[in-house]
Amino acid sequence: MTRGRRVLLLVILAAALQTAAAAALPEHRITNIFQPLATPAESEYNIAMLVFAITGVIFVGVAGLIAYTIWRFRQPSDAAQHQEPPQVYGSNQIEVAWTVLPILIVFVLIGVSARVIAAVENASPPQAALKVTVIGHQWWWEVLYPDYNIVTANEIHMPASRNGKNATYLQLQSADVIHSFWVPQLSGKTDLIPNRSNFMWMDPREPGVYVGNCAEYCGTQHANMLLRVVAEDPADFKRWTVEQQKRSVDDPGATEGRAVFESLACVNCHNITGLGKASAGSKFGPDLTHLMSRQSLGSGVITNTPANLRAWVNDPQTSKPGCLMPSMRLTPDELTKVVDYLETLR
Ligand code: CUA
């Protein structure tokens, strides 16, 4: 093959790969506050830049004056060093200037910040807005869609909002200690506090997966309390809600695994809608009704693959030491059956 042909082939291959990647949702894996992709994040970015510009000018002014003074009034080498420098006592103009200017700057910063804080925190949801309740647990996120009767975990689906019309309002609560909800490209941090509801909203502009994490130390696995916002086209979001509203699949091939699962303490913590009384309403661990529709396990610690699921069920403490799910000490045969059953939960 000639060099030209090889280059051409590479270009075609790269284009094909790009098309394939565009079909799946793009992943915003870099949690970058400098690339806001929703209104609240953008307002906060703009404030940060304004503060940075003002303090930058002050820094250059002060540091420049200090540098100039050090150079200009360095110790002279000649006889002049024995002369006393001019003594200046007070100057009304200068004192008024350095009092009034900082006050003006502080008022500008307070005014701009207050406006954005009000817009981000106090905005009340319009009737049509999607409402989502997020409950922080040690160390995962429970996600409820009260209007759709959906319960899921760690991955928050919402419609993307190209026209700025589809905002999602989040009610933030905690089941145990204080957590903090942070998806840097979509909004600032908001605490989840026991016995209290905080609110925030976001309107992701581009479909994609936005990565975030808990931003308040909440115990051993705080750093592994990861979350994803999956922003999709409104039609795709609708499809997702329809799938999530279904009861769990009752695969006749997985009856044995289902029986093992039901006989174990798993059902005390995990709800699987359609499984029966034992698991109904269990809320201590993530809802597993549509476990296989999620991308990750252990709140973002490992990707949701069959091998990882098996390792997780075998001993969660290996992937996430200190997490509140114990190893159930299953025999290899029981493990295979339970994992086979879990994999039917699409
Ligand atoms: Cu939850 Cu840190």
pLDDT digits (tens, 9 = 90+) for 181-192: 999 999 999 999
Q: What is the pLDDT of residue 164?
A: 65
| Ranges 16-25, 88-97, 161-170, 272-281: which has the least confidence | 16-25
Ligand 1 atom nearest to CA at 138? 1
Give pLDDT, residue 172: 95
pTM of this structure: 0.82
Which atom of ligand 1 approaches the CA of 215 most closely?
2
Ligand 1 centroid vs 324 CA: distance in angstroms? 14
Residues contacting 48, CB < 8 A, separation 6+:
33
Residue nearest (by alpha carbon) to ligand 1 atom 1: 179
- Give the distance (Å) from ligand 1 centre to CA of residue 206: 27
Residue of 134, 171, 183 whose CA lies nearest to 154: 134
Query: Which pLDDT does position 75 carry in this prediction?
Result: 77
CA angle 281, 282, 283 (to 5 degrees): 105
At 212 the pLDDT is 94
Q: What angle do CA 281, 286, 287 make, to 5 degrees?
A: 50
pLDDT tens sequence across 323-339 = 999 998 899 999 999 99
pLDDT at 9 over 80: no
- Average pLDDT of every residue of the chain: 87
Q: How far is the CA of 124 from the centre of ligand 1 (A)?
A: 26
Pocket of ligand 1 (CB under 6 A): 136, 139, 179, 214, 216-218, 222, 225
137-181 pLDDT tens trace: 999 999 999 999 999 999 999 999 877 678 899 999 999 999 999
Kindly report the three-state secondary structure assignment for every residue of 134-173.
EEEECCEEEEEECCCCEEEECEEEEECCCCCCCCEEEEEE
User: Average pLDDT for residues 37-65, to the nearest whole number?
Assistant: 93
pLDDT digits (tens, 9 = 90+) for 65-113: 999 999 988 877 776 667 777 788 888 998 999 899 999 999 999 999 9
Q: Which atom of ligand 1 is nearest to the CA of 225?
A: 1
Residue 245 alpha carbon to ligand 1 centre in Å: 28
